[in-house]
């Protein structure tokens, strides 16, 4: 299974173009997948994934009560989703709505979180990361149920960290 892992920082140019990290592009290319971005429901960031993940969300919604508040919440997330086209240099163009939502300026930080990734204002992400580490140190790690094994395929690890 190809996963989005690690963190990378890239500049956003004046036209809103942002390079997609090479390891993330490789995941999409190996799967021959499109890239989708949407506004996070819970964080001040953008979330990105391939169509398989979008399909999993849609499948989960289909199994829920179609009139429930939970479905309305998830549909709100999907309604902001946009398919992003990579240019010949591996960049996407963020629209003004996405830039404003995540409060991005000159730099964006990609955070790979497994089957998806997030795009953050770098300082905001670092604060969130420090808070999570402090929480783990003081309250312990969340309980994980590890069962299925995944093969992790990644780049050479020389990303812009």
SS3 128: helix
Which pLDDT does position 96 carry in this prediction? Answer: 95
Query: Residues 85, 90, 96, CA angle at the centre, nearest 5°?
Result: 55
* pTM reported for the whole predicted model: 0.84
Position 152 scores a pLDDT of 52
Eight-state DSSP code of residue 2: B
Per-residue pLDDT at 100: 97
Question: % helix / strand / coil in the chain, to the nearest 5?
Answer: 35, 25, 40
**Domains (range + CATH), the chain:** 4-139 (3.40.1550.20)
Residue numbers in the chain where pLDDT is lower than 70: 1, 146-161
**Cα–Cα distance measured from residue 45 to residue 148, given in angstroms and rounded to the nearest whole number:** 29
d(CA 12, CA 106): 5
Q: Which residues contact 82 (CB under 8 A, 6 or more apart)?
A: 36, 37, 38, 95, 98
């Amino acid at each position: 299974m190809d996963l989005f892992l690690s963190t990378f920082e890239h500049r956003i140019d004046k036209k809103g173009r942002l390079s997609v990290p090479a390891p993330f592009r490789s995941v999409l290319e190996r799967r021959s997948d499109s890239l989708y971005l949407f506004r996070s429901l819970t964080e001040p960031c953008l979330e990105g994934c391939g169509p398989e993940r979008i399909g999993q969300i849609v499948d989960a919604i289909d199994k829920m009560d179609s009139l429930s508040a939970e479905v309305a919440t998830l549909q709100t997330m999907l309604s902001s989703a946009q398919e992003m086209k990579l240019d010949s240099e591996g960049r996407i163009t963020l629209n003004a709505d996405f830039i404003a939502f995540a409060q991005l300026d000159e730099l964006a930080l990609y955070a790979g979180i497994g089957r998806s990734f997030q795009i953050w204002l770098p300082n905001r992400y670092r604060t969130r990361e420090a808070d999570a580490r402090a929480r783990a140190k003081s309250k312990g790690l969340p309980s994980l149920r590890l069962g299925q094994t995944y093969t992790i395929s990644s780049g050479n690890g020389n990303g812009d960290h």
